[in-house]
Amino acid sequence: MEAVTRPPLTYHEALAWLYSLQRFGIKLGLENIKRLLDELSRRGDLQVTLGDSEAAIPWKVIHIAGTNGKGSVCAMIDSICRAQGYRTGLFTSPHLVTFRERIRVNGDVISEEAVAHGLTTIRNLVATWDPHPTFFEVVTALAIKHFSDAKVEIVVLETGLGGRLDATNAIPSNVSVITPIDFDHEKWLGKTLSEIAAEKAGIIKPGVPVVSASQRPDAEKEIRARATECNAPLQFVTNLYDATPIALAGSHQKENAALAVAALRAVKIDVDDSAIARGLESIDWPARFQRWDERTIIDGAHNPAAARMLAETWREMFGAQRATLILAILSDKNLYEICEALVPITDSVVLPKIQSQRAADPGELANVLTKIRPALPHSITPSIGKAFDLARSRPHPILITGSLHFAGEVLAHLRGEPAAFEECAQ
């Protein structure tokens, strides 16, 4: 079926079209994304052919799945490779403030012009398709097209959801990396840790090396089984990287750094110790225990395991000092367990009304907090700005957390920029 011809989109028109695809929901599967990449290649809009073999691709692909730490590991690998002088493509999600953060070449976010041109091409190609590609399938194709146009040497791909049927799994990879697996997205990935791990381990491909963080027994069993089935060399990374400073705070980042270095070694990308040190020391990855000012921390912890890790990092940095917590969580998350993990480091809680339509109502969060002991004083505010006013009137350091979407709204507020939801409406 041939592409249609329509006038080119502006950047904001392109984003409006892209976000309209959310009406198609989440559809896990690889047929649509493979068709999309194949058609882009056939038409000459994609300068590579994505066959079933890595030999068809002119770059090294590092593919990362897991529950927590995926973004940090991706950013570490990208930063180390750039420090060594490689030209890199980085694909991550979600974004914080601007959509363009999802796709980067050599650390630079994709330009508005490249987004508009790429999405115009894809829109015209898929206009009459049934089934129509989803939001994430289109974004994945846009990223691969941009990396092809930019002639990158190394591509770092973060899965969006799961692994086995995630759109990124359509791209042949040179190493599969799995960060710690825990409970999240149970609606899509399964109710048990084994089911979730089986989906994440789906990025393991025949003969392709696998590098995994230490895992809980049920998750480790699934990873081992998939690696054996695929005859894929498997390494579990149990050490911490502590040779040089890491720009990201927390002991868990030493685990992430060790995983990142092991992945580069597994894929035989030549990086020396100096590049590793420079890359880890200079990494810029917002909303991961980000210190905004002397008393304000922003962290995107969005599930119980991440909240527990955040509490540990808080104790490492602040000792017994408690936080004034500014909290917003998406409604489909485990509200009780996230709050329960944060209560021990919290003195009081501020619950702002935020713009994300997916956010749990502050009143619902207040009800959750009343069920946890020890009970904490909490206040509901109509906006992020009012939440800051209230938190700053109190003597404790401020911790802003609960969601990467919320962290993005906060960063936009603090920078005086449009939030991500406003960007596509302009």
Per-residue pLDDT reduced to its tens digit, 80-128: 999 999 999 999 999 999 999 999 999 999 999 999 999 999 999 999 9
Report the percentage of the chain scoring pLDDT > 70.
Answer: 96
For 290-423, give the CATH class.
Answer: alpha beta
Sign of CA dihedral 262, 177, 260, 139: positive
**What's the residue count for the chain?**
426
**3.30.70.20, 3.50.50.60, 3.40.1190.10, 3.90.190.20: CATH of 11-282:** 3.40.1190.10
Cα distances from 101 to residues 331, 360, 366, 397, in angstroms, run 24, 25, 33, 29
For residue 126, give the H/E element and its range: helix 112-126
Q: What average pLDDT does the chain have?
A: 93
Q: What is the mean pLDDT of residues 341-350?
A: 97
User: What pLDDT score does 328 carry?
Assistant: 98
Contact predicate 140/165, CB 8 Å = no
Q: What is the pLDDT of residue 56?
A: 58
pTM attached to this predicted model? 0.95
pLDDT recorded at residue 425: 41
Which parts of 283-361 fold into alpha helices (H)? 304-318, 335-342
Which pLDDT tens digit goes with each residue over 198-234?
999 999 999 999 999 999 999 999 999 999 999 999 9
Q: Where are the domains of the chain?
A: 11-282, 290-423
> Percent of the chain beyond pLDDT 90?
85
Q: Is the pLDDT of residue 30 over 90?
A: yes
Residue 3 has a pLDDT of: 75
Q: Quick one: pLDDT band at residue 420, thresholds 50, 70, 90?
A: low
